[in-house]
Amino acid sequence: MGESMYMTEGGNNQKKGFFVSKTSAIVFGLVIVAILVAEGLLIGLVGRPTCDKVAAPDTTTMAPTKPVTTTTIMPGSTTTSPGEETTTLTTTAGNTGPPTLWDNERLPPDLIPIHYTVKLRAVFDEEIRPNINIFYGSSSVTYNCVNPTDYLLLHSVQINYTASFTIVDDATSNSISIIDWFLYLPNQYLVIQTGAPCEAGKTYTFSAPEYNAPLGNDLTGFYRSTYVNENGDLRIIAVSQMETTGARHSFPSFDEPGLKATFDTTLYNRVDDGYIAISNMPVKQYIPEEYKGQSWNATVFETTDIMPTYLLAFVVADYTYEETFTQNKKQTRIYSRKEAIDNGEGVYASIITPQMLDNLGAYYNISYEWPKSDQLSAPDFGAGAMENWGLVLYRESLLLYEENVTTVRSKYSVTSVIGHELAHQVTFDV
């Protein structure tokens, strides 16, 4: 998704002895517009992370046509290092299931998500491997049964589940038995077999109450980014990039664009080291807690509108911001490193953002519906920018501008990219 903004300047400027026909001027103008559009697209697309399919596991244990390989994990135990897909395995004889279910790269149409609850805790002082930290999570998803099926398929990759799953019939609060589950790596599925098919028209809630995953530097899902502050200290932050398939790295989900739902998000952040948590929606409440002798907040966010998983945004960082407001009093903030904000590098973006939202809303006759408009620069970001609703993420060079230092060309790019990403917000373009 490219980053571009279309700006024209006009005027009549006739010089003696020089004439340009109307047709030539129109052609020339169209060429210029085409160049600007192409440039905006390239800015956004260059560096977008690609999704390499996970290598297929040993077919002697995982092929769908043979007895299903399952993973036995008792509540509270850890059988793998976060991100590793090999565990203590057992084989359930005779349980092959319909092979086309998890062979298909697209989820079956039997179940439709309605609402997710996601809680994530990034821990920066636990390094599980060099330059890789860890995050802990819990999540649930309420879904509607469209067609009776005794299989629940969710996307999941590099997540280590350390407690038993549950499925509840929402109408009766009765538990649904789970007789088997396994990870099918080629299509990044968590496959769960229930004791009986779901009933069409009823809703159920699946919960993964405890898991962990690597907070790595692959720029995908919920990942680790770093910078060195003015004191020379290495600072670690956690940033997300869910497009194209990053959500499944963060929580088990129906991770396809057409399967939209609402989201309740809680991010845990240390408060004694200057960290804050930011997501798509405004903060609903802070719940103080102590975690391993440190002061933390459970930062609870308001419920989102219906949206796809790829537009989710999670950030835990020691950041500050510039704040401005639109004409109808919608909050806009530019988040970045304290040194950058103190240096005035967020001022330009904070000035043009409310102006753009107002002008785009007037042009499309669609007002900006989200309760806030946050934009944040990440030290490491694979895409040029990402149009997450309510919290747009950027490379630093495409959001920050320093007067008398940044080039005019870069100022144009910042303007172009911000305009493009905010157009996504106003038009609800997915």
Q: If residue 357 lies in a helix (H) or strand (E), which one and from where to where?
A: helix 347-364
User: Looking at 243, 256, 387, 421, which residue is catalytic?
Assistant: 421
Identify whether residues 398 and 422 lie together within a single domain.
Answer: yes
pLDDT bracket for residue 273 (50, 70, 90) = confident
For residues 156 and 245, what is the distance between their CA atoms, to the nearest angstrom?
10
Identify whether residues 109 and 256 lie together within a single domain.
Answer: yes
pLDDT bracket for residue 79 (50, 70, 90) = very low
In a domain, 348, yes or no: yes
Q: Which two tokens stand for residue 381?
A: 């970001």
Which pTM value belongs to this model?
0.80
Identify whether residues 234 and 378 lie together within a single domain.
Answer: no
Class of residue 180 by CB neighbours under 10 A (exposed 0-12, middle 13-18, buried 19+): middle
pLDDT at 148: 98
397: containing domain: 320-427
What would the pLDDT profile of 277-288 be if each residue is shown by its tens digit?
Answer: 999 999 999 999
pLDDT at 98: 53
Q: Which of 346, 328, 281, 274 is nearest to 307 (CA)?
A: 281
For residues 430 and 242, what is the distance between their CA atoms, to the nearest angstrom?
13
Identify whether residues 238 and 148 lie together within a single domain.
Answer: yes
Residue of 322 and 425 predicted with greater confidence: 322
In a domain, 177, yes or no: yes
- Active-site residue flag, 199: no
Over range 242-257, report the average pLDDT: 97
Identify whether residues 163 and 80 lie together within a single domain.
Answer: yes
Identify whether residues 239 and 338 lie together within a single domain.
Answer: no
Identify whether residues 99 and 151 lie together within a single domain.
Answer: yes
Identify whether residues 77 and 88 lie together within a single domain.
Answer: yes
200, pLDDT greater than 80? yes
In a domain, 16, yes or no: no
203, pLDDT greater than 60? yes
50, pLDDT greater than 80? no
In a domain, 8, yes or no: no
Identify whether residues 114 and 256 lie together within a single domain.
Answer: yes
Give the residue carrying structure tokens 């897909």: 85
Q: If residue 236 lies in a helix (H) or strand (E), which one and from where to where?
A: strand 234-241
Considering Cα of 401, then 403, then 406, then 412, what sign does the dihedral take?
positive
Identify whether residues 65 and 195 lie together within a single domain.
Answer: yes
20, pLDDT greater than 70? no
Residue of 66 and 96 predicted with greater confidence: 96
Q: Look up the CATH number of the domain holding residue 109.
A: 2.60.40.1730
Identify whether residues 224 and 357 lie together within a single domain.
Answer: no
Quick one: how many helices (H) and strands (E) in the chain? 6, 22
Contact status, residue 108 vs residue 98, Cβ threshold 8 Å: no
In a domain, 355, yes or no: yes
157, pLDDT greater than 50? yes
Q: Which residues pair with 215 in a beta bridge?
A: 133
Q: What mean pLDDT is reported for the chain? A: 83
Over range 34-43, report the average pLDDT: 45
Within a 13 Å sphere around the CA of 142, how many CA atoms are in the beta-carbon half?
Answer: 14
In a domain, 81, yes or no: yes
Instruction: Compute the residue count for the chain.
Output: 430
Identify whether residues 303 and 409 lie together within a single domain.
Answer: no
- Count: domains in the chain: 2
307, pLDDT greater than 70? yes
pLDDT bracket for residue 83 (50, 70, 90) = low
Can you give the three-state secondary structure of 8-54, one letter per residue? CCCCCCCCCCCCCCHHHHHHHHHHHHHHHHHHHHHHHHCCCCCCCCC
- List, in order, residues 6 or more apart from 410 with CB less than 8 Å away: 397, 401
